Amino acid sequence: MSQRHLDRLSPIDAGFLAQERQNTHMHIGGIVLLEDGGPGYDEFLAHIRSRLHLVPRYRQKLAEPPLETGRPVWIDDVTFNLEYHVRHTALPEPGDREALWRLTSRIFSQALDRSKPL
């Protein structure tokens, strides 16, 4: 899908990005636990891929305007890779909820790569 206009980052979102520091990230995350195990990884990716056109923002990344003449703009990421954003990871033994919390904490504590869709 081609970009038709400049879609600037909202003032609130720009403020969140401006507040980020090495040890203070302004993004959020979540966990969904499914009782029946849910779909397999490939099925899950296929479902997301089939609906990405409904939310273009998920495929967009930030770009700075020339000479920093305003807030960043959202642009389509022509090299968007869904598998970079949706990953399959196994828990270390014993695979209990405590291991899930540790893994989640480690992942959520990493800064987002601003060269990719956030």
The answer as to whether 117 is a domain residue is no
- The pTM for the full model equals 0.79
The answer as to whether 64 is a domain residue is yes
Give me the helices (H) in 1-118, please: 11-19, 41-51, 82-85, 97-108
The answer as to whether 85 is a domain residue is yes
pLDDT value at position 62? 93
Rounded to the nearest integer, the mean pLDDT of the chain is 89
Please provide residue 16's backbone torsions phi and psi, each rounded to the nearest 5 degrees: -60, -45
The answer as to whether 28 is a domain residue is no
Total count of domains within the chain:
1
**Residue 6: DSSP 8-state:** -
Rounded distance, CA 110 to CA 106, Å? Answer: 7
pLDDT value at position 53? 95
The answer as to whether 1 is a domain residue is no
* Other beta carbons within 10 Å of 62: 19
The answer as to whether 86 is a domain residue is yes
pLDDT value at position 4? 53
Residues 28-70 have pLDDT tens digits of 888 888 888 889 999 999 999 999 999 999 999 999 888 878 8
7 — pLDDT class (breaks 50, 70, 90) = confident
The answer as to whether 116 is a domain residue is no
The answer as to whether 66 is a domain residue is yes
